């Protein structure tokens, strides 16, 4: 039985290897993205000053692009290389976009540090930002490929005229959800598109939805199979499909969509109205990826099956659970959108806390991190008292075995809603009965603040990476330049000596990566007495977070760290290893 399962999987791997696809080189679920907190956000901070001089605008972090519209819009798709060769000023003037949705696929070597990533993207931004037309990037999405020569920048330029409703647009893609299933199968495509749609649904959009597929494959047969799955999904759920848009064709498996829909209410983005006592509701438990990843890993290393069966559940039960999840992931959450829209103000009306939803967020890719981002966006402090996972046992197992670094992550997953207690109580009654929905309150807003998130201590069972945990719970500004309102930053310099087992263990490169991800400049060097000297400059909160991080460094072992906070000099442009 077990041998059968593994041999079927191996046959599938071989079958695809013969077609030039290594299923094990494809990222599953959301791990396909350039790391938001270590790479993408810090990279955008690095190029912030240069972007400010260009005719380009990167809008604050939001799940979806939102435009006032008269209902008519045009969508023009262009595909460039990632340096932006081919961007044509005259064409930009004639397109005159209201917003641009950017999908970047870069080779993983460019995603290894913020500096590397920033230098990769700046040329594209320069080209986009040097025409008389202002290009607003309303939704960006950067993904990694393990294959070289599979890079591209796909931009969907959307143009519309202001009117009496809203147009919302989003782009999301996935490489593969579950390699134990056939790539290109209906469920994989349905999950990928539903995941893109989720960001419209959370804003209450369920009308006039059009899907503009984004897909690629190494072979024609698979590309055709994907095309068929897109058609099947659209007709089954009654969405418009525009299959005539151009596709990347760099022969690397990819599936997803740009999705556009209209909203005749005010979207739930009332961040400044969120206040102490507002509750946080989620529509179901999350952590889908830990289950899919664990199931997949049992096919790669048989000894994991033994451990799983000894400590958690039988492989048959895990398979049943995985199948159930794949079914629910391939269903779009459109019914939730209908309910959300009932709790939104009419166009032009103000937000009222006894009637309306204040904000919503999609708990998919980043899992529990979305609550940290939400706290920062709204400048409030948030406490979660419950982290409902589909299978806490599997999540713990996956984290312990480093199968997944954040076992709360998912795809097309739960939706979180922030509103006053009365509205939440009413919402729960309205959401009950929808398939796959089990609404529950998991936390609340403590009050206006700097964007802190308080989580139960047991979160360490599900997120084993120390640096991830620190980003979640320390007062670090994870969104940085993508925050709606910039936080004040007091610049300081720290000079430190670190004693312990800190030389010859990869300490300096690890420190440099962390410093860059916190937006710090300075240097780290080995001293002759076996200690390490660190000098760092940046915002005080980031500098202090860095010192705390060094104290519990994931490499070597730190006995003591002696440091002094000094006046900021602005001496460095980068963080070097000396």
Partner 1 sequence: MKVSNDRYMLDARGYACPYPQVFTLKVIKELKENSIIEVLVDNPASCDNVPAAVRKLGHEVLEVNQEGNYWRIVVRKR
Residues that bind partner 1 (CB under 8 A): 22, 24-28, 31, 35, 39, 108-109, 111-112, 144, 146, 293, 297, 300-301, 303-304, 400-405, 464-467, 504-506, 509-510, 554-555
C-alpha Rg value of the chain to the nearest Å: 24
Give the integer Cα–Cα distance in Å for 78 and 82: 12
Distance of CA 299 to the CA centre of its chain: 27
165 versus 307: smaller Cβ distance to partner 1 = 307
Q: Give me the least distance between CB of 504 and partner 1, in Å please.
A: 7
Give the integer Cα–Cα distance in Å for 540 and 554: 22
> Is 273 annotated as catalytic?
no
Q: Check: CB of residue 194 under 8 Å from CB of residue 329.
A: yes
DSSP β-ladder status, 557-567 and 491-501: antiparallel
Give the integer Cα–Cα distance in Å for 59 and 77: 20
40 versus 64: smaller Cβ distance to partner 1 = 40
405 versus 426: smaller Cβ distance to partner 1 = 405
> Is 508 annotated as catalytic?
yes
* Annotated catalytic residue within 164, 508, 512, 573: 508
Q: Give me the least distance between CB of 183 and partner 1, in Å please.
A: 14
Q: Give me the least distance between CB of 480 and partner 1, in Å please.
A: 19
Distance of CA 225 to the CA centre of its chain: 27
28 versus 394: smaller Cβ distance to partner 1 = 28
* Annotated catalytic residue within 526, 551, 573, 578: 526
Q: Give me the least distance between CB of 548 and partner 1, in Å please.
A: 18
Q: Give me the least distance between CB of 577 and partner 1, in Å please.
A: 10
Virtual torsion, Cα 244, 138, 209, 279, nearest 10 deg: 150
Concatenating the DSSP letter of every residue in 412-470 gives S-EEEEEE-HHHHHHHHHHHTTSTT---EEEEEEEEE-S--EE--GGGGGTB--HHHHH
From residue 456, alpha-carbon distances to 156, 365, 392, 461 in Å are 41, 20, 14, 10
141 versus 299: smaller Cβ distance to partner 1 = 299
Which residue is associated with the tokens 């019914």? Answer: 335
Helices (H), 65-216: 89-95, 114-128, 186-201
54 versus 143: smaller Cβ distance to partner 1 = 143
Q: Give me the least distance between CB of 406 and partner 1, in Å please.
A: 11
Reduced to 3 states (helix: H, G, I; strand: E, B; else coil), residue 529 is coil
285 versus 467: smaller Cβ distance to partner 1 = 467
How close are the terminal C-alpha atoms of the chain, in Å? 56
Q: Give me the least distance between CB of 299 and partner 1, in Å please.
A: 10
Return phi, psi of residue 251, to 5°: 60, 45
Give the integer Cα–Cα distance in Å for 480 and 84: 25
Concatenating the DSSP letter of every residue in 315-380 gives HHHHHHHHHHHHHHHTS--HHHHHHHHHTSPBTTPPP-TTT-EEEEEEESTTTTHHHHHHHHHHTE
Reduced to 3 states (helix: H, G, I; strand: E, B; else coil), residue 145 is strand
Q: Give me the least distance between CB of 509 and partner 1, in Å please.
A: 6
28 versus 482: smaller Cβ distance to partner 1 = 28
Catalytic site residues? 508, 526
């Amino acid at each position: 039985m077990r041998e059968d399962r593994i041999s079927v999987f191996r046959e599938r791997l071989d079958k695809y290897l013969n077609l030039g696809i290594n299923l094990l080189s494809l990222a599953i679920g959301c791990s396909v993205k350039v790391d938001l907190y270590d790479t993408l956000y810090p990279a955008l901070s690095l190029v912030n000053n240069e972007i400010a001089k260009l005719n380009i605008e990167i809008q604050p972090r939001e799940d979806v692009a939102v435009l006032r519209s008269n209902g008519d819009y045009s969508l023009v798709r262009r595909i460039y290389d990632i340096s932006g060769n081919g961007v044509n000023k005259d064409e930009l003037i004639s397109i005159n976009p209201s917003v641009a949705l950017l999908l970047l696929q870069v080779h993983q070597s460019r995603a290894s540090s913020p500096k590397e990533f920033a230098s990769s993207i700046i040329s594209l931004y320069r080209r986009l930002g040097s025409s008389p037309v202002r290009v607003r990037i309303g939704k960006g999405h950067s993904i990694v490929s393990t294959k070289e020569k599979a890079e591209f920048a796909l931009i969907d330029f959307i143009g519309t005229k202001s009117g009496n409703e809203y147009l919302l647009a989003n782009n999301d893609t996935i490489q593969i959800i579950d390699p134990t299933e056939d790539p290109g199968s209906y469920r994989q495509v349905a999950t990928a598109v539903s995941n893109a749609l989720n960001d419209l649904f959370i804003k209450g959009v369920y009308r006039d939805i059009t899907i503009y597929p984004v897909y690629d494959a190494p072979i024609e047969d698979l590309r055709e199979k994907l095309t068929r799955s897109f058609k099947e999904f659209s007709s089954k759920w009654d969405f418009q499909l525009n299959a005539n848009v151009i596709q990347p064709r760099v022969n690397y498996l990819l599936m997803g969509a740009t999705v556009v829909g209209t909203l005749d209410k005010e979207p739930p983005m009332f961040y400044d109205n969120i206040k102490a006592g507002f509750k946080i509701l989620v529509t179901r438990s999350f952590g889908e990826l830990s289950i899919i990843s664990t199931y997949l890993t049992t096919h790669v290393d048989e000894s994991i099956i033994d451990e799983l069966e000894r400590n958690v559940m039988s492989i048959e039960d895990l398979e049943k659970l995985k199948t159930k999840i794949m079914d629910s992931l391939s269903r779009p959450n459109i019914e939730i959108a209908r309910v959300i829209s009932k709790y939104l103000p009419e166009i032009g009306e103000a937000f009222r806390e006894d009637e309306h939803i204040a904000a919503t967020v999609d708990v998919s890719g980043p899992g529990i991190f979305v609550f940290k981002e939400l706290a920062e966006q709204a400048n409030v402090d948030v406490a979660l008292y419950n982290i409902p996972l589909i299978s806490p046992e599997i999540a713990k197992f996956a984290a312990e075995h480093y199968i997944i670094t954040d076992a709360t992550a998912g795809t097309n997953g739960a939706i979180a809603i922030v509103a006053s207690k009365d509205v939440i109580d009413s919402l729960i009654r309205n959401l009950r009965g929808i398939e796959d929905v089990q609404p529950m309150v998991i936390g609340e807003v403590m009050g206006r603040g700097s964007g802190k998130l308080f989580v139960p201590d047991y979160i360490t069972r599900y997120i084993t990476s120390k640096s991830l945990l620190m980003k979640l719970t320390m007062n670090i500004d994870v969104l940085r330049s993508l925050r709606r309102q910039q936080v004040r930053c007091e610049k300081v310099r720290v000079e430190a000596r670190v004693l312990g087992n800190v030389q010859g263990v990869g300490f300096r490169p690890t420190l440099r990566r962390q410093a860059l991800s916190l937006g710090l400049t300075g240097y780290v060097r080995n001293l002759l007495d076996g200690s390490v000297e660190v000098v760092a400059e940046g915002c005080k909160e980031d500098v202090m977070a860095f010192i705390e991080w060094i104290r519990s460094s994931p490499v070597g072992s730190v006995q003591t760290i002696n440091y002094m906070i000094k006046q900021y000099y602005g001496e460095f442009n980068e963080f070097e290893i000396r």
